[in-house]
Amino acid sequence: MTMIQFKGALTHFANPLSHRDNAYSNDQKSVISVAKSREAIKSITSWPSYAPTNLHHLDDLAKDCGFGEIWYKDEATRFGLKSFKALGGAYAVARQLQDIIEAKTGAEPTITDILNGTYKDAISEIVVTCATDGNHGRSVAWGAQMFGCRCVIYIHRDVSEGRKQAMEAFGAEVIRIAGNYDESVRLADSEAKAKGRIIVSDTSYEGYMDVPKDVALGYTVMLSETVDQLGGDIPTHVFIQGGVGGLASAVTGYFWDLWGEKRPRIVVVEPEQANCLQKSAQAGHPVTVEGDLDTLMAGLACGEVSLLGWQILSNGADDFVTMSENMVAPVMQLLARGYKSDAKIEAGESAVAGLGAAILASQDREMTAKLGLNDQSRILVIGTEGATDPEMYERLVGQIWQN
C-alpha cells in the first residue's frame, strides 16, 4: 500500500487487440523503427547545443508507491525550449527543407549545409506552418529560425498568451482562432494549400502522412538516450501521455521494435475530457471527441486521433486510462519540491500525466491488478515539458522555477 495519498480518479480500458507475442509488422515499421530512427538521431545530435536530458531515479517515490523503480525522463532542458517537442517539429522542418532544395537543385543538402547558409536565399522564400497547443509550434518556429525559413503558426482560443509570445520570440507569425485545437488544424491545412505553405504537423490525417513520420522520428532521440541511460534495464511499464497519439506511438513502436516480447506494458494516459485514444480503443476505430476539450493539460487537449499513431497504438498499447484534473497541480508540486531525497524537477502541466496516473494506480488495489503492477514493477515516465507557461506554472506550483 502506498504511503502517499492523492485524491484523484482513473478510468481504465484494457485494449482487447493487444497481445504480447505480436510481431511488430512491416506496416508499423514504415512509421517508426529503430532502423528508421538512425538518420534522425545522427542529424539532431549534430545540432548546436545538443545534449542528452536527464533520466532521474525516483527511488523514494517508487518505494512509497510500492514499486521497484520509477524512472523520469526530464525534457525540461531540451534545447532551451523546455519540451521534447523541440526534437520533432524542428527535425521535420529540416527534412522538408532538404527535400525542397533537392527537388529544386538536384543536390542533396546536409543539415550542415543548411545551417551554414549554403541555400540561404532559396530557404528564405519557404514558409512552414502548423497548428499547435504550444510546444510543437514553438519547435517549428525555433527550427524555422535556426534553418532560415519563414513560419506561420495557428493557435486555438485556450492557448495561453505566454505560449503565443514564446513562438513569436522565434520570429513566427502567430494567428489565434476562436475554435478548438482540431479546428485550428483544419484551418492551418486549408490556408497552407491556398497560400503554398509547407505544413509541419505532429498529427496525421487522410492525405497527410509523411511529415508526421519525421516528427515522430525526431522523438526517437529521446528514446535512444533513455535506452542508453537505463544501462541494460528494461521497464516493465511505460505510462505515456496521449494527445493525438504521436508520442505514445513513437514510444510504443520504438520499444516494440527494439525489445520485442520483452517490451514494457504501454499505458496511455489522457485527460478525462480529451480521451480520443481511449474512446477509439473502446470503439475499435478512430473516434473524435467533440466539445471544448477542457483540461489543464493543454498539450493533451486533443479530440482527434493521429491516423499514423493509431496504426501502432491500436494493437501496440496495452491500456488506456484517463486521469482527473485534480491530480495535475499536486504532482507538479511534488516534483518541484522533491519527494524526500528524490531530485527536484521542473514539470509543466502536460508532463505529469504519466506519473500522476502511476501514483493514483498505486493507491487502488483493483487498479494495480488491472495494470499488472507490484513491488517488482519498473516504471518509465516521460516528463514531456518544463514550465513552458511560466504564469501557469507559478499559479499551480506557487513559485517560478529557478534552475
* Torsions phi, psi for 340 (to 5 deg): 55, -120
Question: Of the residues 182, 210, 238, which one is the last residue of a structural domain?
Answer: 210
Q: Is 104 inside any structural domain? A: yes
Query: Which of 36, 73, 82, 85 is an active site residue?
Result: 85
Q: Is 272 inside any structural domain? A: yes
Is residue 362 domain-shared with residue 386, that is, in the same domain?
yes
Give me the pLDDT at residue 190, please: 95
Is residue 275 domain-shared with residue 149, that is, in the same domain?
no
The dihedral built from the CA positions of residue 75, 346, 381 and 277, taken in this order, carries a sign that is negative
- Segment (H or E) for 13: strand 10-14
Is residue 233 domain-shared with residue 334, that is, in the same domain?
yes
Query: What is the tens place of the pLDDT at every residue in 118-130?
Result: 999 999 999 999 9
Query: What is the tens place of the pLDDT at every residue in 75-98?
Result: 999 999 999 999 999 999 999 999
Q: Highest-confidence range of 176-180, 251-255, 272-276, by mean pLDDT?
A: 251-255
> Comparing 208 with 278, which gets the higher pLDDT?
278
Chain-centre distance of CA 239, in angstroms?
12
HSE-up of residue 224 (Cα within 13 Å, Cβ side): 22
In percent, the amount of the chain with pLDDT more than 70 equals: 98
Is residue 263 domain-shared with residue 334, that is, in the same domain?
yes
Full residue range of the structural domain in which residue 126 is found: 86-210
Give me the pLDDT at residue 182, please: 83
Residue 402 clears pLDDT 70, i.e. is over it: no
Average model confidence (pLDDT) across the chain: 93
Angle between helix 210-230 and 246-259 (nearest 10) = 50
Query: What is the tens place of the pLDDT at every residue in 257-302?
Result: 999 999 999 999 999 999 999 999 999 999 999 877 888 897 888 8
Is residue 174 domain-shared with residue 301, that is, in the same domain?
no
Q: Kindly give, in sequence order, each residue whose CB lies less than 8 Å from that of residue 116, ignoring residues fewer than 6 positions away.
A: none
Is residue 205 domain-shared with residue 219, that is, in the same domain?
no
Least confident residue range of 47-56, 201-210, 227-236: 201-210
Query: What is the tens place of the pLDDT at every residue in 111-162?
Result: 999 999 999 999 999 999 999 888 899 999 999 999 999 999 999 988 888 8
85 in active site: yes
Closest CA to 159 of 357, 399, 350: 350
Burial level of 82, CB count in 10 A (0-12/13-18/19+)?
buried
Please count the structural domains in the chain.
Answer: 2
Neighbours of 122 (CB within 10 A): 16
Give me the pLDDT at residue 293, please: 80
Query: Which of 36, 73, 74, 133 is an active site residue?
Result: 133
Question: Of the residues 160, 175, 210, which one is the last residue of a structural domain?
Answer: 210
In percent, the amount of the chain with pLDDT more than 90 equals: 84
Give me the pLDDT at residue 76, please: 97
Is residue 52 domain-shared with residue 188, that is, in the same domain?
no
133 in active site: yes
Q: Could you tell me which residues are beta bridge partners of residue 267?
A: 239, 319
Give me the pLDDT at residue 403, please: 46
Q: Is 292 inside any structural domain? A: yes
Q: Is 3 inside any structural domain? A: no
Residue 52 clears pLDDT 70, i.e. is over it: yes
Is residue 235 domain-shared with residue 328, that is, in the same domain?
yes
Residue 4 clears pLDDT 90, i.e. is over it: no
- ∠ CA 377-381-384 to the nearest 5 degrees? 180
pTM metric for this prediction: 0.93
Closest CA to 273 of 309, 242, 319: 242
> Comparing 103 with 3, which gets the higher pLDDT?
103
Question: Of the residues 210, 233, 265, which one is the last residue of a structural domain?
Answer: 210
Q: Is 329 inside any structural domain? A: yes
Q: What whole-number distance in Å separates Cα of residue 240 and Cα of residue 67?
A: 17
Query: What is the tens place of the pLDDT at every residue in 215-229?
Result: 999 999 999 999 999
Q: Is 4 inside any structural domain? A: no
Neighbours of 262 (CB within 10 A): 10
Q: What whole-number distance in Å separates Cα of residue 31 and Cα of residue 286?
A: 17
CATH number of the domain where residue 45 is located:
3.40.50.1100
Is residue 199 domain-shared with residue 299, that is, in the same domain?
no
Q: Report helix, strand and coil shares of the chain as percent, to nearest 5.
A: 50, 15, 35
Q: Is 403 inside any structural domain? A: no
Is residue 187 domain-shared with residue 284, that is, in the same domain?
no
> Comparing 6 with 35, which gets the higher pLDDT?
35
Is residue 68 domain-shared with residue 134, that is, in the same domain?
no
Q: Is 2 inside any structural domain? A: no
Least confident residue range of 17-21, 221-225, 344-348, 373-377: 17-21
- ∠ CA 186-189-190 to the nearest 5 degrees? 85
Is residue 36 domain-shared with residue 166, that is, in the same domain?
no
Q: Kindly give, in sequence order, each residue whose CB lies less than 8 Å from that of residue 94, ignoring residues fewer than 6 positions away.
A: 43, 111, 114, 143, 147
